[in-house]
Amino acid sequence: MNEKISNANSASLKTVIEKLESLFSKFNERFYEGELQKPVITVSPDTTKGAYGWCTSWKAWTDSDDSEGYYEINMCAEHLNRKFEEVCSTLLHEMVHLWNLQNEIQDTSRNGSYHNKKFKDVAECHGLIIEKDKKYGWTLTSLNEEAKVFIKSLNADGFAIYRKKLAHIKSTSKQSTRKYVCPSCGCIIRATKEVRVICSDCNVEFEEEL
């Protein structure tokens, strides 16, 4: 089958990644005085069923130069169709996590889902307003006035391409699962049978929660 390539390249993520990288650089200079380490910026589906993006807590990327590696900031593909200011807010949110990683500030718990007061304090020094969610802590993110004015000055359009959300299909079969919890960090996994698994972060065995 012959592959047809559009001259406008409208089906490529190249322009999306380039735009996100450009925004990262501008935000880094404006809100961090250029002190943030450059991450690898990716766009991929939302595997968490609700996240707009994430920053890896480890240097997930490496290269042939034997460097220490690079953190990853991912922007979830289904949410690129939001208002441009909201996408920028998400990118700035993940940049706060990156700053905290660089400075060894523990800003989350519960396997990265709960945002503590340290996250709020740092975020509100770098262009954001943070409000508290009952379940996930200080994670509700919006732009402060400085960030709004700066982003408006960029005269940038939103993202023209985004991923469709998968239609929800109810399963007719039921399968019981076992819940296992790391007693140290609280990470949760599920299995359809009895298993013995070691948490690689804590080096302790998961315990079944009955």
pLDDT: which is higher, 155 or 172: 155
Q: How many CA atoms lie within 13 A of 33 on its CB side?
A: 1
pLDDT per position as a tens digit, 32-53? 999 999 999 999 998 877 889 9
Q: Closest Cα partner for 69 from 78, 56, 59, 82?
A: 59
Lowest mean pLDDT among 11-15, 116-120, 125-129, 200-204: 200-204
Per-residue pLDDT band for 3 (boundaries 50, 70, 90) equals very low
Band (pLDDT 50/70/90 cuts) for residue 1 is: very low
Estimate to the nearest angstrom the gap between the alpha carbon of 201 and the chain centroid.
19
CATH class label, 14-153: alpha beta
* Spatial separation of the C-alpha atoms in residues 128 and 147, rounded to whole Å: 7
Cβ(80)–Cβ(162) below 8 Å: yes
Which pLDDT belongs to residue 18? 95
Prediction pTM value: 0.75
Residue 183 has a pLDDT of 73
Residue intervals of the chain classified under CATH 3.30.2010 are: 14-153
